[in-house]
Structure 1
């Protein structure tokens, strides 16, 4: 029988901590959330490898190191409301739920959203709600949000998400720029988002977050 608890501890000790992740809340959450319960059943054996896990052609469960570094820089507080865009089967939402007051997870596949909600409920994440709908639409009815996290690559950020972030709030996402992407944290000040580079990583571009290039002869 696979000892997932030991694998989880090894993941944190060999992948998360060495990646300059120092926030206790991030480490504690990743030590306690059973990642194997939030990945496809046929991929559970690979739940703790240090890479993205595919959900579909353009959807992933984020590499634990990348997710941990994103959450570390966000420094989510216990009184904050978080929007988790592209939560997949709910792993990121489960981790965030241990740090925030509440998290709204957005998933565009209704079957996947239902599975994520069930897994979150089974593991006691009562402050996490899964919203089924287009990822670019977010979940305005539950906002505005103190923090927005996007679980995948983007080529541009839709204004619909900007509008759901509180003034003074922060957002983290991975901008795909050629072969290598750049994870940036943005701070919303007077309606505009000011971006700062955090680290480099790569991920598939999420559906709806592609730039539409004009056709030229």
Structure 2
């Protein structure tokens, strides 16, 4: 499939999947149109890069659906110069979008194969630092961050990540409960952290965020 084919598929995805679901921010649309999503999935799955579903990457992981990533970006409203802690970098697609928006990105990926693929794909792109390590641990050495961007769904957002946000810092993530995933936005204040769900949407489940099981007597 040619680059022209992929460009046409990218434009169609924006028009049919994103704009029809409240993704209209000009800077975010520009970043998505400029970034070749097909480059972040296995060669044999490139034709599926612009469908409305997650794209399997191997080892139980997948690239988040474009709509989920885009709506989380709209909700968190990243601005140029902001420092972003990205959790679930996978092969680097969300990191690339955030960098195109002018953010300084600290990206975390715990799967060593995906981390290697992300490093190879992103190369020495300015504004992105990639670290391999547990997703739920984040990267406290770089804290505090203006934004927390979790490109996937968690049963429970780790407190360790919230603590790495600045006071007044914002977060975007998805939650997973009983098979339903919801997109959420939150913010840290001097009094704690609050979040709200704003849409039901398919999102990939990230490892390491299982809610502790309650004991029953």
TM-score (norm 1): 0.93
Measured in 2, the distance between the counterparts of 1:203 and 1:4 equals: 23
> Structure 2 matches for 1:1-217, cutoff 5 A?
1-2=1-2, 3-56=5-58, 58-121=60-123, 125-190=125-190, 192-214=192-214, 216=216
The answer (yes or no) to whether the contact 1:150–1:174 under 8 Å persists in 2 is yes
Q: Secondary structure at the match of 1:76?
A: coil
Q: Which runs of 5+ in 2 are unaligned?
A: none
Q: CA deviation at 1:215?
A: 5.4
Give the secondary structure class of the aligned counterpart of 1:150: strand
Q: Tell me the SS of whatever aligns to 1:15.
A: helix
Equivalent pairs, count: 215
Moved over 4 A (4+): none
What is the root-mean-square deviation in Å for CA atoms of aligned residues? Answer: 1.6
Using the alignment, how far apart are the partners of 1:191 and 1:78 within structure 2?
27
Residues 120-156 of structure 1, C-alpha deviation per residue, up to 9 Å, x if partnerless?
12xx732112110000011111221111111221111
Residues 147 and 170, structure 1, Cα contact 8 Å, conserved in 2: yes
CA distance in 1, matches of 2:204, 2:15: 26
Give 1:176 deviation, angstroms: 1.0
Q: Is the 8 A contact 2:88 2:107 kept in 1?
A: yes
